[in-house]
Amino acid sequence: QKEVEQNSGPLSVPEGAIASLNCTYSDRGSQSFFWYRQYSGKSPELIMFIYSNGDKEDGRFTAQLNKASQYVSLLIRDSQPSDSATYLCAVNGGAGGGNKLTFGTGTQLKVEL
């Protein structure tokens, strides 16, 4: 079982729709959770982080965390073509301790006109 799992996609949504990206993790001791956006040929860019159960909203983005289910998600409202990218889920803390991020393989999002 991979430590951080994501559906590789591609996930296609029409412009203006809500995109829902999901991530599960295996280490129950994980403490914080990050979503990075990565455009093709570019480096990962931090867009959200969350460490408490529930929802955290920032503009069009909402991160949701459920530690009991070991599940974290990212919702993108009013999706735009510029949101087309790969979204990487990353998990920090846990058994390894320290500030080690474990990444999933990413979900490719395509927002279609």
Partner 1 sequence: EAGVVQSPRYKIIEKKQPVAFWCNPISGHNTLYWYLQNLGQGPELLIRYENEEAVDDSQLPKDRFSAERLKGVDSTLKIQPAELGDSAVYLCASSLVAAPYNEQFFGPGTRLTVL
Binding site for partner 1 (CB under 8 A): 4, 8, 31-32, 34, 36, 42-46, 49, 51, 88, 90, 92-93, 96, 98-101, 103-106
The distance of closest approach from Cβ of residue 87 to partner 1 in the complex, given in angstroms and rounded to an integer, is 11
Give CA–CA dist 33/23, Å, rounded. Answer: 10
The distance of closest approach from Cβ of residue 113 to partner 1 in the complex, given in angstroms and rounded to an integer, is 26
Residue 15 or 57: the one with the smaller Cβ distance to partner 1 is 57
Give CA–CA dist 90/36, Å, rounded. Answer: 8
Burial class (CB in 10 A: 0-12, 13-18, 19+), 38: middle
Query: In this structure, are residues 49 and 65 in contact, taking their beta carbons and an 8 Å threshold?
Result: no
Residue carrying structure tokens 């998600």: 73
The distance of closest approach from Cβ of residue 15 to partner 1 in the complex, given in angstroms and rounded to an integer, is 26
Residue 79 or 108: the one with the smaller Cβ distance to partner 1 is 108
Residue 20 or 38: the one with the smaller Cβ distance to partner 1 is 38
Residue 62 or 92: the one with the smaller Cβ distance to partner 1 is 92
Which element (helix H / strand E) includes 11? strand 11-14
